[in-house]
Structure 1
């Protein structure tokens, strides 16, 4: 007689995902879809012109992308959101990708906005480097440029050719004699009346033409002005025009890739070498090559170049101006991107492979620059890896994958600001930088400021709301380190390694001493690494960035404080009453 079978108490395996039932009720409308796994984690976010058609494409046999095929095997649920248009779907998709960071999406993180050349709307306009939101009421903007150096080079060139002012309005309004820039022939000194408004306006007109790529018009106008000056026996003025023409022709010789038609377009190429994918953006405005910027998928994700190109196109142009056309080295894998960008721009946006000879040269140059960027990135990652390993070994730690560094900045106790910068994944992680406006302490008390900053940062770690670093750097000596270590003990985080970076004699780089807090587990005698030590170089890099971030925050806070009045803090005292009080009592001191 056989024994009765034992009951099986093992949990049942989840039923396979039934995509056919899902697709049966899915609409052929534009929208966004989200792929989720059995735990509810978002695996992938995408957009579609027709949701049903796009989602169905994921469940066909032999998916061409191994990455997506792996993702499909994990799908347990698909959520959709119908939108009114492709443009709205693109916006929603981009917002969800940035907020959720799905594992299988390709995300390009671009922490820096693109810089412009600003031309102010003053009587004698200034030209300047500018980064930030654009306000056409205050200024005219040319660009964007792919790098700060490209803008600064262009500003220097405009100074040399057209002698336009670059000084701040506060400096301009208080000049009594020409500055050094006038002496070296880089400014026409409108501040002291050495050029009239009409002549300055003509120089500015030519500068605008130059920035628009209309260089031949500029040369023609300068040639006519030179001839007129010579006819009037104004030989010094004629010599100035001659020098301007020579400078402009020199620029044309260097800009051998200039487009004679003065086109505005972007060249975007995706290149893969050795498992590393790079999307390189080259900007052409007014027919002039403004430079390149290389972009790499966040997290070092590996994907086909066509996928990377599609992801970059739809993410980049939601935040930046869309040019007249986009040249690419291969077709993006998402055919709907062109239509979505056209809907946003409210005009056709051709995304085309280069056919004309000059356009092919642009694309080939962009591909070459992408290849160089990949080599440079691999070299940097190798170097950073060696730095991390050397520092970990010097400190006796298993890893220093994530480093956080604190610094304090103030002016004799005024507007004290603390910074916390983060190094992770072989690079500075600017999205996690934090500044702390310090208050409630004795002005100039660096120890109290450090205690407050460290407490505000690591309260979140102690409560489980934030990730803990592998190493904490404190820019300062024994006092600052002891103050920070005391806070860590109070928070129950004394197990986190911490060192102070004390500046050496005469504050020379390479002479720093690493200070270990006596109360923490990694306590030991001060350590001075050799100046050539790779680990010290990493410490210096992170420490210098913390210092820069603290100083810039302090200056902004100090400027804001000095531009405002303490009377503004009093409820019921508006601008008119504040003005009357100051007029009556002669200032804040007289009132209090």
Structure 2
């Protein structure tokens, strides 16, 4: 009888006995050393061994295991430590088979520093331990700006952009229209201003009952003193507060901050919905879609919570979940430590909490169907890309490059990335172009790509397709740069506007032309209008991103002070001069002795300033 030869057993399976019976993190890698999946375990040996014993029905897990050639592990002191390490490694390596949360920005807050005289409201993204009062966070910039506009309409606090109040010779337009009390021009006493500040704080804290009582009392007192003009001010403010409250959706009788996190899924696709409740009012919601994942609902919620709250995000007093994770005690302990006081995580079965969960689940179902439809459409676009461009596989990560200028100056470049058909904003790049070539010169494309490929290798490595905003010359330049780089096989195309592109706004009749390498004439996307629209969307987003950077640079130059031209006057001295005198005209009319009264201003700089304005007067005469 012939003896059967043993099947080839992967090396990682032969090393299972080397794995410890300890908590930690395991890392699946392919033959190139790329990380495929990061997982955590209470017992590393048992967890990794389970992949050799189980028959995985879902094809995604089976496909992943076919690619695994090596498994590394990191031992941790506890399961909680493993939980956090797993989240950090997922963020670092962005493995293909993990659930990855792309939104890692800090949400905006409203800040007011009451330790400063005549404080103002400002939007910030980080909460610091600096003694200031913070309100929020708000789920979007749109939401925080809406709130700020509402507050500014009702309460006349100063709106100038400098944190510290600067004295001026006359108040601004906001004072003239009743939107500011004019502290910069001495139009209001500090104690009177601070009373308005306290009203604003009550409003933003949600203590509107107390605020309304105070405004009503002040209105009555002013009327009794026959100060009817002042009484009318309080009456109008009270009316504004009451109107604002009518537009808010109050969903809780408990004035605490809550996040309601709900999960809904079908097959291998899931959607996480978050409702943001602040001081009992529903502010907004946000959803996150994950496709082709083989994790359980409990694992998805656990991974989501860890990634979401790890990035210095605001942690509410209570988190309501539709699915409880297995490691809820570790999550609760970690979030409580991070917040500095106890955080409650629970799944309510009845009452007000259950109603909030039902609301979140209804939203999750609706948004899931919308996202699923979008996903199906993009899958078709990816297949069209693969077919028309003869790619090895459907492209997942697509980048587009654009060069923009303003009358030949302020030339900037941008690179935007779309992942699975949606903007991948954390991978966007801006470039201040160094070349003195004309903005439409292919040399600009070469400079941008060379800098990107040299300094952002990991980002370049993940790209499946590169799109250049330009014609044949720009495309040929991009091909040359790629050939001498580490990424000669990266597919690249270009999109150029035709000579009569302005004649139509109908995308189906566009004159845009698509160029491919080694092909003289542009190709037609007439048979795939959805694909053309997607390429145009990428191009337009790259252009928008470049323009926003260019405008920022241009505004900075426009707002540069005349003082910047004077030798010895830097940013700090300029601010001190403006703070002391209040305006450029007063500085221009100041004597050398007056200038020397400014804090630590050297005599030679004072003489430079005086001489500069004297020369201007001479030239004008």
- Into which bin does the TM-score normalised by the smaller protein fall? 0.7 to 0.9
Displacement of 1:451 in angstroms is 3.7
Residue 423 of structure 2 corresponds to 428
Residue 164 of structure 1 corresponds to 157
Write the distance in 2 (CA, Å) between the matches of 1:456 and 1:276: 37
Gaps of 5+ in 2: 569-598, 616-621
TM-score normalised by L of structure 1: 0.77
CA contact (8 A) 2:319 2:345 kept: yes
Residue 308 of structure 1 corresponds to 300
1:232-291 Cα shifts (integer Å, max 9, x gaps): 222233233223323333333333434333212221111124653111122222223221
CA contact (8 A) 2:111 2:132 kept: yes
Q: Which moved more, 1:444-453 or 1:267-276?
A: 444-453
Alignment of 1:60-459 (within 5 A): 70=62, 79-84=72-77, 87-120=80-113, 122-131=116-125, 133-137=126-130, 139-169=132-162, 173=166, 176-179=170-173, 183=177, 186-273=179-266, 275-297=268-290, 300-319=292-311, 320-335=313-328, 336-345=330-339, 347-355=341-349, 357-382=351-376, 384=378, 403-411=398-406, 414-442=409-437, 447-457=442-452
2:508 paired with 1:514: no
Write the distance in 1 (CA, Å) between the matches of 2:5 and 2:50: 35
Residue 573 of structure 1 corresponds to none
Displacement of 1:419 in angstroms is 0.7
Task: Give aligned pairs, total.
Answer: 564
1:323 partner SS: coil
Write the distance in 1 (CA, Å) between the matches of 2:299 and 2:268: 14
1:106-150 Cα shifts (integer Å, max 9, x gaps): 22221533122233565332223333x334439543211112221
Displacement of 1:352 in angstroms is 0.5
2:461 partner SS: coil
Q: Which moved more, 1:379-388 or 1:364-373?
A: 379-388
CA contact (8 A) 1:111 1:430 kept: no
CA contact (8 A) 1:390 1:534 kept: no
CA contact (8 A) 1:389 1:535 kept: no
Write the distance in 2 (CA, Å) between the matches of 1:69 and 1:435: 37
Residue 488 of structure 1 corresponds to 479
Residue 46 of structure 1 corresponds to 39
Write the distance in 2 (CA, Å) between the matches of 1:161 and 1:126: 14
Distance 1:171 1:209, change over 3 A: closer
CA contact (8 A) 1:264 1:285 kept: yes
Displacement of 1:199 in angstroms is 2.7
Distance 1:44 1:524, change over 3 A: closer
Say what the alpha-carbon RMSD is for the aligned residues: 4.8
1:184-233 Cα shifts (integer Å, max 9, x gaps): x5444444455443232222212212222212111111111111122122
1:210 partner SS: helix
Distance 1:378 1:385, change over 3 A: same
Distance 1:257 1:206, change over 3 A: same
- The match for 1:499 among 492, 495, 498 is 495
CA contact (8 A) 1:454 1:484 kept: no
Write the distance in 2 (CA, Å) between the matches of 1:92 and 1:345: 19
Write the distance in 2 (CA, Å) between the matches of 1:258 and 1:340: 28
Displacement of 1:578 in angstroms is 12
CA contact (8 A) 2:120 2:163 kept: no
Write the distance in 1 (CA, Å) between the matches of 2:505 and 2:180: 37
Write the distance in 1 (CA, Å) between the matches of 2:163 and 2:338: 40
Displacement of 1:583 in angstroms is 6.0
CA contact (8 A) 2:263 2:272 kept: yes
Distance 1:552 1:93, change over 3 A: same
- The match for 1:547 among 532, 543, 547 is 543
Write the distance in 2 (CA, Å) between the matches of 1:372 and 1:463: 36
Distance 1:222 1:99, change over 3 A: same
1:351 partner SS: strand
Residue 580 of structure 2 corresponds to none
Write the distance in 2 (CA, Å) between the matches of 1:503 and 1:191: 54
Distance 1:134 1:243, change over 3 A: same
1:35-79 Cα shifts (integer Å, max 9, x gaps): 56788665543345x546973895798799968975997787764
Write the distance in 2 (CA, Å) between the matches of 1:137 and 1:273: 46
1:12-36 Cα shifts (integer Å, max 9, x gaps): 444894798457x524xx5434456
Write the distance in 2 (CA, Å) between the matches of 1:237 and 1:33: 69
CA contact (8 A) 1:461 1:468 kept: no
Q: Which moved more, 1:324-333 or 1:136-145?
A: 136-145
1:76-122 Cα shifts (integer Å, max 9, x gaps): 77644333455543332211111223344322221533122233565
